[in-house]
Structure 1
Amino acid sequence: MIIQKEYKFYAAHRNETLKDKCSNLHGHRYGVRCFFEVERDGEISTLFGEFDSRMEPWIKEYYDHGMLINVNDPLYESLQEHCRRTGEQLKMKLFNGPTSVENLAWMLFTEVTDMGFRLAQLEIRETDTSVISYTREDWIRDNRLFASLRSPGAATP
């Protein structure tokens, strides 16, 4: 059985690997729809609040009103220097590759799975008209791809 839950967060990012408007620092109100697989073990399989009580604080702590940034982006080094110089603590969610919505989907799928949830799919709405659907099969395929690309010094999401 699938239980769908939706979550939202605001975050800044840029994709420095592109040579278009997305290489500029900008933000989105991301919508994340999780498709949780659950099994019935009685009259009630799962209370919706059980998802929210773990997911909402986690999203707020690690993603909401933060910056998604590639550790290989020259801006990251500048932001680290700013924090050292000023003592300011910026919330940064670190990526080992571009902060594309595809890489965000992989990261979220991995982290939600690591929390003990079983996902069939998740959808990420980056804009009003742009949504990515990311399935367990996509996640498995990406994990294989990233494992094959890993070598000393190789950066993967």
Structure 2
Amino acid sequence: MDFIVKSFDELSTHELYQLLQLRSEVFVVEQDCAYQDVDGKDQIALHLMGIEGDNLFAYTRIFPPGAYMDSACVGRVVVKESKRGKSLGIQLMKVAIDTIHENYNTSEIALSAQTYLKKFYSDLGFTPVGEEYLEDGIPHILMVKTT
């Protein structure tokens, strides 16, 4: 699995199609959650893609401090169902954390975690902050990592 980071303008139409397809496949269809995925924020994000051959299997988008939250943040963390259980999510997040450090020179990273993934993110050094809340009808919690 190769991990590639690109800005929105660097994405090919094929890559953009694949990442939108994967996000829709998991967040809309699998999680049965109708929401506006194409939210106008992709243009200001870095896009981290886990690619094998010509196929996208893992993805997240990364924002600089102040672009989405006060601190740098990670969102739309997703692994294709057929590739889950192989530590790909952990690899993806480690690359995302390194990418933030390399690009934004910051020690704080935030994310809005689906509550059922709290242990996954805690194992990566993220700490829950505040109370659980609903985002698009799914329980979430703000989590922050300081390095």
What TM-score do you get using the length of structure 1 for normalisation? 0.28
Larger % of strand: which?
Answer: 2
| Greater Rg by CA | 1
Structure with the bigger RCO (C-alpha within 8 Å, sep 6+) is: 1
